[in-house]
């Protein structure tokens, strides 16, 4: 997945990072499905194999992730950091993630919410991705000299629940109401059978998307939280505003 040098931002790939197998699918799988069905390439980076999970083995969860990737029409890789429930904030990790960004050269990057009161791996990975997006720009980082610098267009954070949605960032809502998007998203979540057999994760995420959809006057929507203010050349691509009750 190597875009040409004259690729426009909306033609560049999307990269989504998850701390564990299933994080991306549950948190923003509908967005991924919407983007791939709009013919944007997408690449998932999973930073553990769920070794510390209560349900499912690492081998099982790896296969579930690969199945979900096929459904969503994306590529996927596993990035070895500290392992499930052991992730630490380290410059070496940020540089590893920056190397992924330089290699794939995305326009949009998705990462877990920075809200602290959740699985600690989630917020820590969000911080690491944010740091990596900066390091990927700097040509003088010795460990990255083999890959040309790359600047992403935008970093968005996704949340796994209402409680982990940032309260200090105004979200954008991505309309995922199209039946084919909901079907693909649901199937991708259901691929993680080791997790959905234990808790009603699919119902939780669809209900949350329905709630956001009602707020935005659509059937289903997923909230994303921009790391930086969004800059546009004109108001034409801004889209419609949410119509709250």
Chain-centre distance for alpha carbon 168: 19
State the DSSP string of 145-206: TTS-----SEEEEE-SSGGGS-SSS--EEEE--SHHHHHHHHHHHHT-HHHHTTS-HHHHHH
Average confidence (pLDDT) over 55-59: 93
State the DSSP string of 123-139: HHHHHHHHHHHHHTT-T
pLDDT of 232: 87
Using the predicted structure, report yes or no on whether residue 5 has a pLDDT greater than 50: no
Longest Cα pair distance anywhere in the chain, in angstroms?
A: 53
pLDDT of 95: 98
Of residues 53 and 69, which shows the higher confidence score? 69
pLDDT of 4: 42
What would the pLDDT profile of 87-137 be if each residue is shown by its tens digit? 999 999 999 999 999 999 999 999 999 999 999 999 999 999 999 999 999
Confidence of residue 8 (pLDDT cuts 50, 70, 90): low
pLDDT of 6: 44
Average confidence (pLDDT) over 63-87: 97
For Cα atoms 175, 181, 185, give the angle at the middle one, nearest 5 degrees. 105
What would the pLDDT profile of 179-194 be if each residue is shown by its tens digit? 999 999 999 999 999 9
What would the pLDDT profile of 138-182 be if each residue is shown by its tens digit? 999 999 999 999 999 999 999 999 999 999 999 999 999 999 999
pLDDT of 200: 95
The average confidence (pLDDT) of the chain is: 94
The closest of 230, 13, 232 to 107, measured between CA atoms, is: 13
pLDDT of 244: 62
The token duo for 180 is 């084919």
Using the predicted structure, report yes or no on whether residue 59 has a pLDDT greater than 70: yes
For Cα atoms 12, 18, 24, give the angle at the middle one, nearest 5 degrees. 75
- DSSP classification of residue 143: G
| CATH class of segment(s) 11-228 | alpha beta
- Please report, for residues 42, 111, 185, 220, the alpha-carbon distance to residue 211 in angstroms, rounded to integers and kept in the order given: 26, 22, 16, 7
């Amino acid at each position: 997945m190597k875009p040409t040098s004259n690729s426009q931002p909306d033609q560049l790939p999307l990269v989504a990072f998850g701390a564990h197998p299933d994080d991306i699918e549950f948190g923003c799988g509908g967005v991924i499905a919407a983007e791939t069905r709009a013919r944007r390439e997408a690449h998932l980076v999973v930073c553990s194999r769920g070794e510390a999970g209560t349900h499912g083995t690492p081998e099982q969860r790896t296969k579930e992730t690969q199945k979900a990737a096929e459904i969503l029409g994306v590529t996927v890789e596993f990035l070895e950091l500290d392992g499930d429930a052991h992730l630490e904030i380290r410059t070496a990790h940020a540089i590893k993630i920056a190397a992924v960004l330089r290699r794939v050269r995305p326009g949009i990057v998705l990462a877990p919410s920075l809200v602290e009161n959740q699985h600690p791996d989630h917020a820590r990975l969000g911080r690491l991705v944010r740091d990596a997006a900066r390091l990927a720009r700097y040509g003088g980082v010795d460990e990255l000299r083999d890959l040309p610098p790359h600047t992403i267009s935008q970093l968005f954070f996704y949340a796994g629940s209402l409680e982990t949605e940032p309260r200090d960032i105004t979200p954008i809502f991505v309309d995922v109401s199209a039946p084919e998007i909901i079907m693909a998203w649901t199937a991708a979540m259901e691929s993680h059978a080791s997790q959905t057999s234990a808790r009603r994760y699919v119902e939780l995420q669809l209900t949350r998307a329905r709630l956001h959809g009602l707020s935005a006057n659509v059937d289903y929507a997923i909230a994303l939280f921009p790391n930086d203010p969004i800059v546009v050349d004109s108001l034409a691509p801004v889209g419609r505003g949410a119509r709250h009750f």
